[in-house]
Amino acid sequence: MAFGVALFSSLLILSVFFSGVHALDWNYYAKTCPNVDSIVTNAVKAAVSRDKTIPATLLRMHFHDCFIRGCDGSVLLDSKGNNKAEKDATPNLSLHGFFVIDNAKKAVEKACPGVVSCADILAMAARDAVVLSGGPNWYVPKGRKDGRISRASETSTLPSPAFNLAQLQQSFGQRGLSLEDLAALSGAHTLGFSHCASFQNRIHNFSATHDVDPNLHPTFASKLKGKCPLHNKAKNAGVPMDPSSKTFDNTYYQLILQRKTLFASDHSLLELPKTKELVYRFARSKNDFWQAFVKSITKMGSISGSGQEIRKDCRVVN
């Protein structure tokens, strides 16, 4: 009950913020496509029933969309001619599940043609991904427009798994996100799978004096070395993000304190008193994490894009 009351209070605050400055509104499609949430949810449910890796990729897809050009669905566009799109850039090559958005869009278009943007559908799908993984539910403010530009080169500004806290703070700050948002949104790393390349530098030839990052628990590092040997030949070798990698829980924060997270960026949350305190708080309380995550992902989802249209097909501009 306490979580529900606190979440309602947060949502009241956010309603003022989002309906004003960012022109997003929970009731944006109330008259033009009243069942849009359930239509998108059904498409995500159908995909997740066949592939349990879908939630993690949809959540990451939304994050990568909003961090490049704002939340405008640019990550969904296909490369065309000489233009290499965001989805074909190195940081996004492990994204999959674009078919989920395609299926949701087709169903939405059947019910409400020409009304709902692909960017909004992706934001709703990311919410559904969390809910279907046992996480919190929330109202997604809507009214985003779809962008017409998608450039692979711009993904170089995405935060890297190797970032330290100063670099993360700069990356998030440039997008209007705070240290609190950084700590809460990092909790999305409780879902999914990581390829060896994202943490290889921590377990092999880390520095002139250490083969392994000393911030890694030795036993955990040994396990990672077993999965990801120095001259790894397996294309898809990697490990789950955490032992409960299909459940949206607070295990991630507990693992940070145990020095058992994959990325240097995860451990970096202990570098400042502010984020360190949040790690301890979220490790103790799943509800505190959930409440903070809902607030921060709603804020992230409001990053203004340069969208101008409602795409008919999420993969191509009109």
| Active-site residue set | 64
What are the E-state strand segments in the chain?
193-195, 238-240
DSSP 8-state assignment for residue 79: P
Rounded Cα–Cα distance for residues 278 and 82 (Å): 45
Question: 82: burial class by Cβ within 10 Å (0-12, 13-18, 19+)?
Answer: exposed
Would you say 144 and 123 are in contact if contact means Cβ atoms under 8 Å apart?
yes
Both structure tokens of 286: 């799943």
Would you say 128 and 15 are in contact if contact means Cβ atoms under 8 Å apart?
no
The structure tokens 């911030």 sit at: 215
Angle value at C-alpha 129, between 124 and 135, nearest 5 degrees: 110
Task: Please name the residues in contact with 15: beta carbons below 8 A apart, sequence gap of 6 or more.
Answer: 26
H helix runs in 29-142, sequence order: 36-50, 54-67, 98-111, 118-131
Rounded Cα–Cα distance for residues 145 and 8 (Å): 27
Rounded Cα–Cα distance for residues 219 and 29 (Å): 52
